[in-house]
Amino acid sequence: MLAADGGTVADKTGPEKGGAIRCWTSPNFGNAGWSPILKVNQVSVTIHRRHQFSPKPFTETIAFDKIKAVMTKAQVDAARAEGRVRDISADGQVGFILAPPAPAVINPPAF
């Protein structure tokens, strides 16, 4: 049934190590939170997650059909180079928020 509908999000953009996903465990800051991918299996990805009562992150395995969005490693690296990635934790393991691109600067007319 999923194949007839075009497949899952993971089928359209293959997740890769160093990329990021948005899923039910991702940080939810107005749906702007992303979880970095640690490992990719045939049917799932592994990410870090932090429980609200413990500062130590743990790994969580997310099935491909539970992924809402995927960013490739190149997209994450490009966003970091633009300065749009805001890490949630100091170590950057748990996730990040992706800021919108900066608006184009329009020079005012000279008078």
The residues near 73 (Cβ < 8 Å, ≥ 6 apart) are 16, 17, 18, 19
Predicted pLDDT at 108: 74
DSSP state letter for 100: P
Terminal Cα distance for the chain, rounded: 63
Give the pLDDT of residue 24.
86
* DSSP structure string for 56-74: SEEEEEEEGGG--EEE-HH
- pLDDT tens over the chain, length 111 residues: 455 555 666 666 778 999 999 988 887 766 778 989 999 999 999 998 877 777 788 888 999 999 999 999 999 999 999 988 888 877 767 888 888 877 777 777 777
Going by DSSP bridges, is the β-strand pair 57-63/69-71 parallel, antiparallel, or unpaired? unpaired
